[in-house]
Amino acid sequence: MGTTEHQAGRMASHIPKKAEAIGQPGSTNINHPASPWYTQSHLLRLNLIILSLVLFSSANGFDGSLMNGLEALTQWKDFMNYPAGARLGWLNAIYWLGCGIGYATAAAIANRYGRKPGVYLGYAALALGTGLQTAAPNATAFLLARLFLGFASALFGNAVPLLINEIAYPAHRGLLSGLFMSGWYVGGSVAAWVVFASRTYPSSWAWRLPSLLQALVPLLALPGFLAAPESPRWLVSVGRDEEARRVLVKYHGGGDAASSFVQEEFEGIRATIRAEQEAHRNGSYLEMVQTAGNRWRLMISLSLGFFAQWAGNGVVSYYLALILESVGVTRVRDQTLISACLQMWDLACGVLGAYLIDRFGRRPLFLASISIMLVSFVLVTALSATFTSTDNSATGVAVIPFLFLFFGGYCIALTPLLTSYPCEIWPYRLRSRGLTVTWCATIAAMFFNTFVNPIALDAIAWKYYIVFIVVLAVFGVTVYFFYPETKGYSLEEMAGIFDKAGGGAAAIALDSGKGMQMEGDGDGLRQGKGMGKEVVHAEDV
């Protein structure tokens, strides 16, 4: 056996066993820039583009924060004839129905036409929904507008995380992909403060102005999106190899066509995608259940989507006003101010979580997040129950800091990892479908609990919180036993975690110098080794 064949064979034979892979960080070497990225014009340009793409997740955050604020406004409640219970639940849930419809087509668009075209369609739906909601002459028009806005959000939410993961410089991928969902709270903060500022308007513009500004943050992302390159991985998948190489040379190599790093990266991407295409000519949803590794990925994608909305955040995100009223905080000014401050807190915690992804790893963040949320929700439940029986205003107000603590826990892991983790674990041919599965699970869970939450809160009040305490406990067990550590692995090397017999693609990427060795550490990413050198195996760490 030749040297490179021997390396590929060793790679395939040293794929971590499932139990061993759970908490094992990657052991490969990710090439770190020789000088800080902000001193290199090509990396500065690329990272600024990606930071602008983060703003596409603002649509969902704007909607949740907007509806929270509108539910506290008399002007909006008068217009909508004071919705409550199932009617209020349907009004919020129809947004997620629109998301579900959008995700049904988003993956097909991203795979066939590229990562960018679906975003243009999303802008059209955003314009339609924003215009209709702002000018709504009646409650039915307002309801229909939310369907279009949900559709737009789905197109943004599928294509943009894929694009970020696939164009980011390898050493920066974990942080930048983790930042995507932080844009949720940029939109949420804008919505919350606009509602707070317009709450005193005597006319319907108290809610029409915030509705109009729903398009603001995605519009701010448009210049960066227009400047963004198409995914080099998608270009390779459709046979446009030279275009893919030019993208990597321009954005990862600073225009140096002779860069050995870019050559290794390109060959690794091409070898892996070609191997996938030869083994699986048509990636499909059915393929997700045909191997043990894909079934493992599917379980993670589905469970993450479900837990991300049943951790207790859904009841607070859309019905904060109802929760605050249940503990004695009834003034519109206080409710809208708390909502605005909570969005800014969430944004700060989400950015912190993205920063910590490559320093502590995915599993530690997940487990720390769950622990914080569980403790917080237990205390919120206990304080709410005490307020109900004593009517002590101090007890009711004490709920507020624990709501902030709960969302701090949520945002350090579930905000950055909801999209970045599924994008990491699936091979290229199934990556858009894998992300779609996570989003569909998220939407199904959100649609159900958005509809059910106001009914349950009306019926049993604080006792409903016990459901989320149980869900958080189950989430912790699931993460501990089934969510592997992906820190330090390149996108092309994830097969080494999940596929005992399917690691061939990852191994092929190492063959004949066609791949990248990568190694992550807690403080950054070091200079990578050239190919053809000894491969470090996960079990050797």
pLDDT (tens digit per residue) in 296-312: 999 999 999 999 988 88
Residue 282 is predicted with a pLDDT of: 58
Residues 300-327 have a mean pLDDT of 79
- Contact status, residue 329 vs residue 400, Cβ threshold 8 Å: yes
- Contact status, residue 237 vs residue 273, Cβ threshold 8 Å: yes
Residue 327 is predicted with a pLDDT of: 66
Residues 202-214 have a mean pLDDT of 92
Q: What is the sign, positive or negative, of the torsion defined by CA atoms of 55, 321, 413, 93?
A: negative
pLDDT digits (tens, 9 = 90+) for 237-255: 999 999 999 999 999 999 9
pLDDT above 50: residue 530: no
Question: Which residues are CB-neighbours of 382 under 8 A, at least 6 positions away?
Answer: none
pLDDT above 90: residue 275: no
Residue 318 is predicted with a pLDDT of: 54
Return the structure tokens found at 69. Answer: 């604020």
- Contact status, residue 171 vs residue 524, Cβ threshold 8 Å: yes
Using the structure block, give the residue that is written with the tokens 């942080």.
Answer: 175
Angle at Cα 504 formed by Cα 243 and Cα 163, nearest 5°?
35
Bridge partners, residue 152, by sequence? none
Cα–Cα distance for residue pair 338/348, rounded to 1 Å: 16
- Contact status, residue 349 vs residue 369, Cβ threshold 8 Å: no
Among 366, 500, 370, which residue's Cα sits nearest to residue 21? 500
Cα–Cα distance for residue pair 138/144, rounded to 1 Å: 10
Return the structure tokens found at 72. Answer: 């506290």
Backbone angles phi, psi at 160, to 5 degrees: -70, -45
- Contact status, residue 182 vs residue 351, Cβ threshold 8 Å: yes
- Contact status, residue 433 vs residue 425, Cβ threshold 8 Å: no
Residue 12 is predicted with a pLDDT of: 38
User: Which amino acid would we find at residue 371?
Assistant: S
Q: For the whole model, what pTM was predicted?
A: 0.76
Residue 536 is predicted with a pLDDT of: 32
- Contact status, residue 487 vs residue 425, Cβ threshold 8 Å: no
User: Which amino acid would we find at residue 37?
Assistant: W
User: Longest C-alpha distance within the chain, in Å?
Assistant: 81
Least confident of 121-125, 134-138, 198-202, 311-315: 311-315
pLDDT above 50: residue 502: no
Residue 319 is predicted with a pLDDT of: 60
Cα–Cα distance for residue pair 247/259, rounded to 1 Å: 13
Using the structure block, give the residue that is written with the tokens 């693609």.
Answer: 505
Among 98, 181, 95, which residue's Cα sits nearest to residue 422? 181
- Contact status, residue 126 vs residue 149, Cβ threshold 8 Å: yes
pLDDT above 80: residue 529: no
Cα–Cα distance for residue pair 430/295, rounded to 1 Å: 12
Residue 15 is predicted with a pLDDT of: 37
pLDDT digits (tens, 9 = 90+) for 439-476: 899 888 887 877 777 777 777 777 888 888 999 999 99
117 compared with 388, residue with greater pLDDT: 117
Question: Which residues are CB-neighbours of 225 under 8 A, at least 6 positions away?
Answer: 52, 53, 56, 116, 119
Residue 399 is predicted with a pLDDT of: 79
Helices (H), 54-204: 58-70, 74-79, 85-113, 117-134, 139-167, 173-179, 183-198
What percent of the chain clears pLDDT 90, i.e. is strictly above it?
45
Secondary structure of 290-304 in HEC code, one letter for each residue: CCHHHHHHHHHHHHH
- Contact status, residue 347 vs residue 409, Cβ threshold 8 Å: no
Return the structure tokens found at 55. Answer: 């703003």
What percent of the chain clears pLDDT 70, i.e. is strictly above it?
83
Angle at Cα 320 formed by Cα 157 and Cα 67, nearest 5°?
50
Per-residue pLDDT band at 317 (split at 50, 70, 90): low
Cα–Cα distance for residue pair 533/4, rounded to 1 Å: 9
Return the structure tokens found at 101. Answer: 């419809």
- Contact status, residue 407 vs residue 344, Cβ threshold 8 Å: no
pLDDT above 90: residue 413: yes
Question: Which residues are CB-neighbours of 447 under 8 A, at least 6 positions away?
Answer: 93, 96, 97, 100
Cα–Cα distance for residue pair 196/192, rounded to 1 Å: 6
User: Which amino acid would we find at residue 470?
Assistant: V
SS3 percent helix, strand, coil of the chain, rounded to 5, is 75, 0, 20
Return the structure tokens found at 505. Answer: 């693609």
Per-residue pLDDT band at 169 (split at 50, 70, 90): very high
Residue 513 is predicted with a pLDDT of: 35
pLDDT digits (tens, 9 = 90+) for 416-442: 999 999 999 999 889 989 999 998 998
pLDDT above 90: residue 329: no
Question: Which residues are CB-neighbours of 389 under 8 A, at least 6 positions away?
Answer: none
Residue 359: C-alpha distances to residues 160, 265, 415, 524 (Å):
24, 23, 16, 7
Q: Which residues of 33-45 are buried (b: 16+ CB within 10 A; e: fewer)?
A: beeeeeebebbee
Burial environment of residue 132 by CB neighbours within 10 A (0 to 12, 13 to 18, 19 or more): buried
Among 227, 218, 267, which residue's Cα sits nearest to residue 251? 227
- Ordered by where they begin, the domains of the chain are 50-230+305-482 (1.20.1250.20)
Angle at Cα 415 formed by Cα 354 and Cα 328, nearest 5°?
125
Per-residue pLDDT band at 515 (split at 50, 70, 90): very low
Cα–Cα distance for residue pair 105/334, rounded to 1 Å: 41
